[in-house]
Amino acid sequence: MKHILLILAFCFSLLASAGAMERPNIIFMFSDDHACNAISAYPGGLFDKIAPTPNIDRIAREGMLFENSFCANSICGPSRANILTGKHSHLNGFLDNNSSHFDGLQQTFPQLLRNQGYQTAMIGKWHLHSNPVGFDFWRILPGQGSYYNPDFIEMDNSRKRYGGHCNDLVTDFGLKWLKEDRDQKKPFVAMIQFKAPHRNWSAAERHLNLFKGVTMPEPETLFDDYANRSKVLAEHAMGIDKHMYWGHDMKFHGENQFPEHFASGIPNAEYRRMNDTQKKAWDAVYEPENQKFLADLEAGNLSKKEILRWKYQRYVKDYLKSIASVDDSVGRILTYLDKSGLAKNTIVIYSSDQGFYLGEHGWYDKRWMFEESFEMPFVIRWPGTIKPGIQTKALIQNIDYGPTFLDVCGAKIPADMQGQSIAPILKNSGKAPADWRKAVYYTYYGEATHQVAAHDGIRTERYTLFYVPKYKEWQLFDNEKDPQQMKSVHNDPAYATVFKDLQGQYAQIKSAYRAHSAVLPVPRGGNWQKRHAAMNKKAHANKHDLLFIGDSITQAWEGGGKKVWETSYGKRKALNLGISGDRTEHVIWRLNHGNLRNQRAAKAAVIMIGTNNTGHSKQDPSETADGIARILSILRARCPQTKILLLGVFPRDPYPTDEKRKINVAINEIISKFDDGERVHFLDISEKFLDQNGHLTKDIMPDFLHLTPKGYGIWADAIEPKLKELGL
């Protein structure tokens, strides 16, 4: 019997190692702002005859092209966070480029694959305001990075400047890792992430002359007047007409000579980084064109439309020229895979963090849920599994990438990842399984940049529906009849049934993705803003060792708790970050808007939050717990050294049978599991406030919610041993 077992075990280990050898490698090539319209392989695209993308096209030709591939949040950082986590922004915490920091300790697909024996590398644009976690090798651009002679952040956190064009360098580094530095015995995932074609669209020297003398086609909607849609469209600040910078975008030198036609203030920083040879090559191409245009402008020879058209030509040519070196890079990598023999067992993907407006609706940039920036290119080659040359309309989204990578590499997809593996579609000639999603969900959270208001919505195979909270307004587009999205039909009686049905789907999908109020950051007004600003002032002025984060019960350390505070924390560099009436969503907002600035090295943070989620709306305890999880994640990202003392939500209302009391107890049951024994320590001191029957008494909580000075004494005593343990 023993022998049989041994033999069986031996066979299984053989099978397992054979399986391990067959696990595919993944090369995930990813650019920044590359619209489907600027890839020749994409059918019907504006530049499908012109885009310099023969190598990207090759991936499509030898593999599969997804026509209905969308992002979950159309800006750089958020899309990357969606991909790493397989989750929508409201759960991975990276909502926008300006206020969010990525919590690298949360679950991501590279970490999971690394645990499964994969070698992982991340090279190029990262843009998540924190260093990569879960990679054997990384070398990233700081923030947006530069095109010319760029700096990179190395794994030891130093910065190093490299000569050359950014796309070429990223490829050099990627190839070096593939050829020399990785562990050749292990399968690998290489994320090679280009800067181009991000603004300000600076081509490599060898491509500067591309498209000389060519007149680019214009989109039908270049002169869009935004009629028949929400007035929010016309409020944008991303128009080719009005918002192109003289230096940064249009590549003129010196002071803005025509402020009536160009925005001032941002020079062409790339030009400043160039060496003399690069400058010479640049000027030889740009200066003659610029001087001719300026002379015409000066002479009054150009109509308003002609000026806009000139800007458009300059813009799209620069954009497409910057793609040429991305495509060269793709070609170099494909060639290496061919020569090394790796091609056979390597999945190759080309995608981009979101699309871009190439003059559609008169715009550049992204952010909107209109097709051109909502779409993401996605082409994938997998020899032996994907039949070559297939184009599919299956509805996929960037949250699917992580689950797909895990799936094809034989790893388990965690239940809390929100995307789905697209492997069944890849294996079945582009056909989605019968139970595949009918709609994707999208959110944009709004930023000052470009003045695009927050909106969220769904896209089905045919329709786009979104909601603009600013005007409490719906927009509905029939993409079959109106592919340019020039008329919202939400008020059209002919679409009444469709509209209602889609609104139902929208509510359903939000609920399924847990996009509920407890996790969606929101500021409050009036005095709240004043207190928020005052707390920020204190935070910015001094580093603190101990942070108290919460609602009125925390704020009142400055009221009823004042004496106890002075005795217990007066000499310990403690900061009160409590605001009366706050729910989790408000705390989430303010922690990302200044409350934690300068507090990176705080020793401990005490958090007690959630009773207003209960009190204001009797929110489902699991939702409040989601909100608390988000707060912990923000702290991990922004205060990487801080130990977190997460307190159970204090008891409220007199009796254990009271409904709100029970909700708080249920929250505590869930959040007790957030204790990881290292960064997060959970402590429920509820019982200290209760008598032996579990009743709250007025000497401790007169209104059965807020504490008396005696109550604050109990609080301080109850957490003191733990605070000491956490190094305070």
**Which range, of 25-33, 174-182, 185-193, 481-489, touches Ca ion by CB under 5 A?**
25-33
Q: Is the dihedral of CA 139, 143, 146, 151 positive or negative?
A: negative
Binding residues with Ca ion: total (CB under 5 A): 4
Please say which residue, 32 or 456, places its beta carbon nearer to Ca ion.
32
**Which range, of 24-32, 107-115, 418-426, 471-479, touches Ca ion by CB under 5 A?**
24-32
Please say which residue, 32 or 585, places its beta carbon nearer to Ca ion.
32
Which of 103, 353, 372, 626 forms a contact with Ca ion (CB under 5 A)? 353
Ranked by CB distance to Ca ion, the top (closest) residue is 76
Which of 26, 27, 29, 33 forms a contact with Ca ion (CB under 5 A)? 33
Q: How far apart are CA 248 and CA 264, in angstroms?
A: 9
Whether the Cβ atoms of residue 96 and residue 78 lie closer than 8 Å to each other? yes
Q: How far apart are CA 63 and CA 283, in angstroms?
A: 40
Beta strands in 591-709 (DSSP E): 604-608, 643-647, 680-683
**Which range, of 33-41, 259-267, 514-522, 698-706, touches Ca ion by CB under 5 A?**
33-41
Please say which residue, 376 or 646, places its beta carbon nearer to Ca ion.
376
Whether the Cβ atoms of residue 91 and residue 519 lie closer than 8 Å to each other? yes
**Which range, of 3-11, 118-126, 318-326, 348-356, touches Ca ion by CB under 5 A?**
348-356
**Which range, of 32-40, 267-275, 405-413, 556-564, touches Ca ion by CB under 5 A?**
32-40
Residue keyed to tokens 């190093």: 160
Minimum separation from the CB atom of position 357 to Ca ion (A): 12
Report which secondary-structure segment, H or E, holds 625: helix 621-638
Minimum separation from the CB atom of position 318 to Ca ion (A): 16
Please say which residue, 193 or 584, places its beta carbon nearer to Ca ion.
193
**Which range, of 4-12, 26-34, 186-194, 703-711, touches Ca ion by CB under 5 A?**
26-34
Whether the Cβ atoms of residue 532 and residue 595 lie closer than 8 Å to each other? yes
Please say which residue, 127 or 638, places its beta carbon nearer to Ca ion.
127
Please say which residue, 194 or 548, places its beta carbon nearer to Ca ion.
194
Report which secondary-structure segment, H or E, holds 192: strand 188-193
Minimum separation from the CB atom of position 105 to Ca ion (A): 24
Mask for 178-197, x = binds Ca ion (CB under 5 A): --------------------
Q: What angle do CA 479, 481, 485 make, to 5 degrees?
A: 50
Whether the Cβ atoms of residue 239 and residue 363 lie closer than 8 Å to each other? yes
Binding to Ca ion (CB under 5 A): which residues in 418-437? none
Cα separation values, 25 from 31, 139, 206, 406, Å? 20, 20, 32, 11
Please say which residue, 78 or 621, places its beta carbon nearer to Ca ion.
78
CB atoms within 10 A of CB 219: 21
Q: Is 465 in the site for Ca ion (CB under 5 A)?
A: no
Minimum separation from the CB atom of position 352 to Ca ion (A): 7
Minimum separation from the CB atom of position 353 to Ca ion (A): 4
Please say which residue, 200 or 278, places its beta carbon nearer to Ca ion.
200
Please say which residue, 197 or 578, places its beta carbon nearer to Ca ion.
197
Which of 26, 30, 32, 650 forms a contact with Ca ion (CB under 5 A)? 32
**Which range, of 146-154, 347-355, 518-526, 674-682, touches Ca ion by CB under 5 A?**
347-355
Nearest to 167 by CA among 33, 330, 278, 292: 330
Residues 6+ apart with CB under 8 A from 606: 546, 547, 548, 549, 550, 645, 647, 719, 723
Mask for 62-81, x = binds Ca ion (CB under 5 A): --------------x-----
**Which range, of 219-227, 349-357, 527-535, 671-679, touches Ca ion by CB under 5 A?**
349-357
Minimum separation from the CB atom of position 351 to Ca ion (A): 11
Q: Is 552 exposed, middle or buried (0-12, 13-18, 19+ CB in 10 A)?
A: middle
Whether the Cβ atoms of residue 683 and residue 645 lie closer than 8 Å to each other? yes
Q: Given the rule CB under 5 A, which residues bind Ca ion?
A: 32-33, 76, 353
